[in-house]
Amino acid sequence: MTKMKKVLALGLAGVLAVGFAACSNSASDDKNTNTQTATAKTGMAIISQIKDDEYNKSATALEIDSVAAAVLVDADGKIIDVKIDEAQTKPDLTKDNGNVSDLRTKLDKKEDYGMKGASQIGKEWYEQVAAFEAWAKGKTADEVKAGVDDTGYASDADLKAGCTIYAGGFTSVVAKAIANATECGASATDTLKLSLTTQKYYESNETNLQYDTDYAAVTTDADGKVTSCIIDASQAKCTIANGEFTVEKGEYKSKKELKEEYGMKGTSPIGKEWYEQAAAFENWCKGKTADEIKACYGDDMSASDADLKAGCTITISSIAENTAKAATK
């Protein structure tokens, strides 16, 4: 090799090393450096809204919907894999003061969701979503959005054959997830997974009802170790007064989307906002198994792992459990 070729080779190697290191500080991200496996981008998006219950539009009933999508995309922005789920919560003050006994997602409910009998094609919600996911693979965001008409229902014949439910929310959230996607450790051969977990809380002597949903999109390698991780959370807060809900209806942001607006930095012992601490958790998860992630917190529900605690002091128990749940799907 000539002297000039050696200089060019060394320079190119340096550029590649800097570009790869910029994705993460985790040493575990060195996987695939000696292989030809293509890298891929991981993305997640959430669209949440509070609205009147479709079947009960009184002030005593609400519907809280959060549709989420995780994507694995290639360098051309085409979908390698996609996962979709939806948390649909319907608190009703006439039923045990806003109690919702079943907080499972639509996907987790499977046959219990009860759509098959009313479906034009005799398919349950989870089956129609699986058809949408299969149809979306290999497509770009624009191609996905072009699969539905102005009413939000499938116009593409192949999609319509397996998905006759309203799909406008799916196309919007998938396109948003693709736009959010970044190279953060995944390869094109990794397995993509998504998990949503909703919990109910009361505050201020049961005058403030709150539904919190944790989201986790992870990719895992053949050994079950996490190669990329994205988390987020949404909080639907509903004030109860005189037997009615007082709440601002419409779309609302997730904690990550709120960024500085979430207002945690001033009370944080490490001076970090929620989204910054979430990023530290995501980075820490790389290279770990589901069991290792579940073991990261102590009795106080905050991080017990020293490396994690350095960048993440928020209550981490529900986040860790949901992320571990995603990794084992």
pLDDT for 204 equals 62
* Torsion, Cα of 311, 282, 43, 166 (10° steps): -100
d(C-alpha 55, C-alpha 57), whole Å: 6
What tokens appear for 186 in the block?
Answer: 């995944």
Q: Contact 231/225 with Cβ under 8 angstroms? A: no
Confidence of residue 206 (pLDDT cuts 50, 70, 90): low
* pLDDT, tens digit, 9 for 90 and up, residues 22-77: 344 443 444 444 445 789 999 999 999 999 888 877 888 899 999 999 999 999 99
Q: CA–CA separation, 244 vs 238, rounded Å? A: 10
User: Is residue 104 scored above 80 in pLDDT?
Assistant: yes
158 phi and psi angles, rounded to 5 deg: -65, -40
pTM of the model: 0.87
Burial class (CB in 10 A: 0-12, 13-18, 19+), 114: exposed
- Percent of the chain at pLDDT > 90 equals 74
Mean pLDDT of 217-235: 98
DSSP for 190-203, written as a single string: SEEEEEEEEEEEEE
Place of tokens 């979503």: 129
Instruction: Label residue 324 by pLDDT band (50, 70, 90).
Output: very high
Average pLDDT, rounded, for the chain: 88
